[in-house]
Amino acid sequence: MRSSSKHTLRALLAISFASLAWVTQGWAQNPQVMVSWGNQCPTIETNKDFTGPALYSLWIGLKNLTVADRNVAFDVSLFYGPTVPDAWRFEINGCQTPARAMMNELPNTKACPAMVGANPETITDFYYDSVTQRMQIRLASVYNAFNPSPGITYTLWNVIFDHTHSVSGADADPGTCDNAGLPLCLSIPDPSDPEFPPLLITTDNTVVYFHFANPSDQFVSWNSGCDPPVPSGQTTWGKIKESYR
């Protein structure tokens, strides 16, 4: 890993997003992020039902890039809750534990190559906030300079949830994780989120926020846990988050 890339990662971790004076608000063409179930990028699958113990895959992709978006890092989070059933507690103190969530930056189809440069260094973490009763999945990566091509949809991350120990309802078996049949909404925060905006860091240390081509690109449902998106874009993570307070 180049020292400059390591420095970028340390800066990314150390800086409060609320104080980023060097964020570019008027980038000519904002990259557009999307989240989907399945492993067939760029085909979008907005809902996944629990149909029994199995592995369930999700991918995060990025499009609308230009040659000006030559980059060295990106940072995206997914949130879900409240509340979070045992079947979705993949953090260290949860029923599932982090060992049952697998994450990689590999392309899941030839149509969506990976957006990652040489010598990647990643941050992947599940964090459960007991106050808001929601879960955060942190997916960040820093690497040697990557040159994107216009018109390409890129794979950022694949997340594979191991629900082979999950059950739809509740039982008395200590070896299973309960209530996988409950609805959930998994969402990427808005670009205006003061704490966790999805973003790209270019080679000249400019922060570029990710936007959404469609409101539905921002979230996916588990057991139909999200309200249908509306054309005005009112169904966003910012709106969903308001219901937590």
The Cα 45–Cα 37 span in angstroms is: 5
Rg of the Cα atoms in the chain: 18
Q: What is the pTM of this model?
A: 0.84
End-to-end, the C-alpha distance of the chain in Å comes to 41
**pLDDT value at 228 more than 70:** no
pLDDT at 9 over 80: no
For residue 15, pLDDT over 80 is answered with no
| 128 in Cβ contact with 94 (< 8 Å) | yes
Name which residue leads in pLDDT, 245 or 238: 238
CATH of 3-242, one of 2.30.40.10, 3.90.1150.10, 2.60.40.680, 3.50.50.60: 2.60.40.680
pLDDT at residue 29, as a whole number:
80
Lowest mean pLDDT among 66-70, 128-132, 232-236: 232-236
Question: Could you tell me the sign of the dihedral formed by the alpha carbons of 23, 76, 197, 215, in that order?
Answer: positive
Q: To the nearest whole number, what is the mean pLDDT of the chain?
A: 86
State how far the alpha carbon of 140 is from the alpha carbons of 58, 154, 200, 218, 233, in Å.
Answer: 16, 15, 10, 17, 26
Q: What is the pLDDT of residue 27?
A: 53
Q: What would the pLDDT profile of 144-155 be if each residue is shown by its tens digit?
A: 999 999 999 999
| Per-domain residue ranges of the chain | 3-242
The pLDDT, as a whole number, for residue 233 is 36
> For the residues 44-68, what does the mean pLDDT come to?
97
* Calpha distance 46→185 (Å, rounded): 10
Q: What is the tens place of the pLDDT at every residue in 151-199?
A: 999 999 999 999 999 999 999 999 999 999 999 999 999 999 999 999 9
Task: Please state the rounded mean pLDDT for residues 110-120.
Answer: 96
